[in-house]
């Protein structure tokens, strides 16, 4: 078998494995619908998102009247798993200072980026595939080691699922081991709300 055929065969095997894995995880998700996050009042907007909104104002002025969660089914599950895997593979992890010479820069990645940049790209791709911004929420968490981190929350009829640059697995929010602090409001892309039992955020913020 020549190298091109080997590459094609390997790619087909990888996609087949992804499909099987996604189907198995979907069955688990359907069997156990987690309680969604409970959000509270409006809170401060991360500085990085504030600056992102200044550069991309149209993205932060979207108001959503119907914030009903996405209906979970096989097609939706495959979509979110494939986008999570694809973006994790396409973007090389690199901190803001090494890329831009300063911290807290949220931007769409061009080959490299940090956790917020992965989130922005996943959110953009899923919106391009027809998902509502009300169900694709940038979320600030605390990792078990105490470090601040950002992930994408996908709101569905089977609970809230997390897309994370640290793993290709899509997990329910309460199975991540993270402490959830705050996230975008589902009814306004420029607003942020607290998450119950959250603590002080570990990324810079501005008051709204």
pLDDT by residue (tens digit) across 86-95?
999 999 999 9
Number of domains composing the chain: 1
Burial class (CB in 10 A: 0-12, 13-18, 19+), 196: exposed
Range of the domain at 96: 3-206
Average pLDDT on 180-200 reads 88
Residue 28 has pLDDT above 60, yes or no: no
**Nearest residue to 132 via CA among 160, 102, 101, 156:** 156
112-113/136-142 β-pairing: unpaired
In the predicted structure, residue 107 carries a pLDDT above the cut 80: yes
Q: Which residue has the higher pLDDT, 47 or 4?
A: 47
Can you tell me the distance from the alpha carbon of 186 to that of 39, in angstroms, rounded to the nearest whole number? 10
Say which CATH number the domain at 14 has. Answer: 3.10.620
Task: State how far the Cα of 82 lies from the Cα of 163, in Å rounded to an integer.
Answer: 10
Q: Where are the alpha helices (DSSP H) in the chain?
A: 3-31, 47-55, 74-90, 96-100, 115-128
Is pLDDT at 32 greater than 80 in this prediction? no
Q: pLDDT digits over 126-164, tens only?
A: 999 999 999 999 999 999 999 999 999 999 999 999 999
For residue 160, the surrounding DSSP H or E stretch is strand 159-164
pTM: 0.82
> For 10-43, b where at least 16 C-beta lie within 10 A, e where not — what string?
eeeeeeeeeeeebeebbeebeeeebebbebeeeb
The span from the CA of 138 to the CA of 201, in Å, is 14
Tokens of 20: 């099987």
């Amino acid at each position: 078998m020549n190298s091109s055929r080997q590459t094609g065969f390997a790619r087909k095997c990888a996609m087949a494995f992804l499909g099987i894995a996604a189907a198995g995880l979907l069955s688990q998700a359907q069997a156990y619908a987690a309680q969604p996050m409970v959000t509270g009042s409006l809170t401060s907007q991360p500085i990085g998102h504030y600056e992102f909104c200044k550069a991309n104002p149209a993205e932060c002025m979207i108001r959503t009247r119907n914030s009903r969660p996405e209906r979970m089914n096989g097609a939706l599950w495959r979509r979110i798993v494939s986008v999570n895997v694809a973006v994790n593979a396409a973007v090389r992890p690199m901190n803001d200072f090494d890329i831009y010479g300063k911290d807290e820069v949220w931007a769409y990645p061009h080959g490299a980026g940090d956790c917020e940049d992965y989130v922005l790209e996943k959110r953009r791709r899923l919106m391009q595939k027809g998902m509502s911004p009300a169900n694709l929420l940038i979320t600030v968490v605390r990792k078990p080691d105490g470090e601040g981190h950002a992930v994408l929350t996908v709101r569905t009829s089977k609970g809230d699922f997390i897309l994370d640059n640290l793993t290709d697995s899509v997990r329910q929010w309460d199975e991540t081991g993270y402490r959830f602090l705050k996230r975008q409001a589902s009814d306004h892309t420029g607003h942020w709300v607290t998450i119950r039992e959250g603590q002080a955020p570990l990324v810079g913020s501005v008051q709204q």
